[in-house]
Amino acid sequence: MAATLIGAGGAALGALLAYLAARRRGRVMASRAADALGAIASGRRDIQPEGAPVEGPLAEFAPVLDAVRVRLAALEARVDALLNEQRSILRAIDGGVLMLDTEQRILSMNRAAEWMLALPESQARGRLLQEVGRHADLNRFVADAFASGDREAAEIVLKGDPERRVRATAVQMSERSGRGVALLLVLNDITQLRRLESVRTDFAANVSHELRTPITNIKGYIETLLESPLDDREQATAFLKTVQRNADRLGAIVEDMLMLTQLERPDSTEHLQTEPCAVRPVVEAAEQELEAEARAKSMTVLSEVPDGLNADINPQLVQMAVNNLLANAIRYSPAGRRIWIGAARIKADDGRAFVDLFVRDEGPGIAPEHLARVFERFYRVDKARSRAQGGTGLGLAIVKHIAHLHGGRVDVESEPGRGSVFRLLLPDSEPTER
């Protein structure tokens, strides 16, 4: 009897101990599962529940956690890939892209927007659009876009140095919970486009004006000849000389326009044939061609080009450039003055060697406000005097394009009453010193 009771008590104690052990394992498993879920929720993906029971009601919990971990890791990788793709696309876009919340705070912006607003994203993120710059047109545009609730587009100006003209487009977006994206703003810089359109318009207007003057003169003198008696040979000869002079002017303008068109072709640089060439013979050829014009004004041309100075050039084009610079100096300098043509080897800041070919005169000089524009097509410092001297207004523009074709540049130094120095920088044919 006693043995039976002891056996029964032992069995009961064993069952109790087994139950308590199971509960303990359950609590441990539940604790470890909670830790694993907490770690997964916090972003860790290397957590695996340890000590999972082999059998029992909690045995299937570990595989479930593992599946959740794998699934979340895959989703996270996919989201990261999409975000990286989005960032790459935004970086590649030429236009500026900004994302604003409902309070007009900047959530993000690409590099083009940073460049346009002159502000890094790290400093702009989280700030009001009105804080990052004093762009009144942009602020009004964004306010109107929020008010309209629809897609908006306008051409606005961003103040700064330099000032930029942009095409702004705003698209309302579905707001997410919290401070989500409310407005997508795209800015396309059209400053250069508008400038080119202005240059084209000005060029057309200038061409029309330049051609109209000689054409009007030719028509007027021909009409006068037709109405005058033909027996007055002296007067007829004077009129015909005027017609011839205006016809020559028309021909010069057309020739210069054709030359500019050829120089401005996109493939001109590819087709340019250059060779190491002595500079002095090129300059001497230009002097000989304009010797009669200089002698007619009793002017002296002094050459300061050393022997042995070579440049990598197209000699015909460079001679044309020197012709234009020398003709310009002769045309606008008073009679009896001197003109110097010189050349020297110089070193640029980047270590490249150039031949500095210059023409210096004793003319009236150029005011500072005109210096930046003298190489523009048809730009004239003194319009009435320039036309009276017979220039086409295209000579210096041709010089500039010839320099650019050679990989060089042009420059001018001048003061009113102290003459001018025009410089043509051409690549040196000698190896660059390092």
Query: Which has the closest alpha carbon to 312: 193, 158, 425?
Result: 425
DSSP state letter for 309: -
Let me know: does 243 contact 221? Beta carbons within 8 Å: yes
- Give every strand in the sheet of 183-189, ordered side by side: 106-109, 96-100, 183-189, 164-172, 152-158
Query: Which has the closest alpha carbon to 249: 216, 284, 274?
Result: 216
Q: In the CATH hierarchy, which top-level class contains the domain 93-189?
A: alpha beta
In this structure, are strands 338-347 and 300-304 parallel, antiparallel, or unpaired? parallel
Using CA atoms, how far apart are residues 377 and 177, in angstroms rounded to an integer? 58
Q: What is the mean pLDDT of each run of 10 residues along the chain (434 residues)?
A: 44 50 58 60 53 47 65 75 65 77 86 83 84 84 84 85 86 61 85 79 75 86 81 82 86 81 74 86 91 91 89 89 91 91 84 87 89 82 58 82 89 90 86 46
Rounded to two decimals, what is the model's pTM? 0.58
β-partners of residue 155 are: 167
Note every long-range contact of 407-415, with CB atoms under 8 Å and residues 24 or more positions apart, other chains counting: 408/354, 410/375, 412/366, 412/371, 412/374, 412/375, 414/365, 414/366, 414/371, 415/365, 415/366
Using CA atoms, how far apart are residues 256 and 206, in angstroms rounded to an integer? 14
Using CA atoms, how far apart are residues 311 and 354, in angstroms rounded to an integer? 8
β-partners of residue 347 are: 353
Let me know: does 325 contact 422? Beta carbons within 8 Å: yes
DSSP string, 129-174: GGGS---HHHHHHHHHHHHH-S-EEEEEEE-SSS-EEEEEEEEE--
> Which pLDDT belongs to residue 10?
45
Using CA atoms, how far apart are residues 118 and 113, in angstroms rounded to an integer? 8
DSSP state letter for 347: E
What residue spans define the domains of the chain? 2-87, 93-189, 193-263, 271-434
Is the bond leading into 431 cis (omega within 30 degrees of zero)? no
- Span 193-263: which CATH code? 1.10.287.130
Distances in whole angstroms, Cα of residue 167 to Cα of each of 141, 152, 186, 190: 11, 11, 8, 7
Query: Which has the closest alpha carbon to 380: 124, 145, 388?
Result: 388
DSSP string, 39-94: HHHTT-------S--SSSTTTTHHHHHHHHHHHHHHHHHHHHHHHHHHHHHHHH-S
SS3 percent helix, strand, coil of the chain, rounded to 5, is 55, 20, 30
Number of neighbours of residue 421 by Cβ within 10 angstroms = 16
> Which pLDDT belongs to residue 385?
53
> Which pLDDT belongs to residue 26?
56
β-partners of residue 353 are: 347
β-partners of residue 345 are: 355
Q: In the CATH hierarchy, which top-level class contains the domain 271-434?
A: alpha beta
> Which pLDDT belongs to residue 326?
93
β-partners of residue 344 are: 356
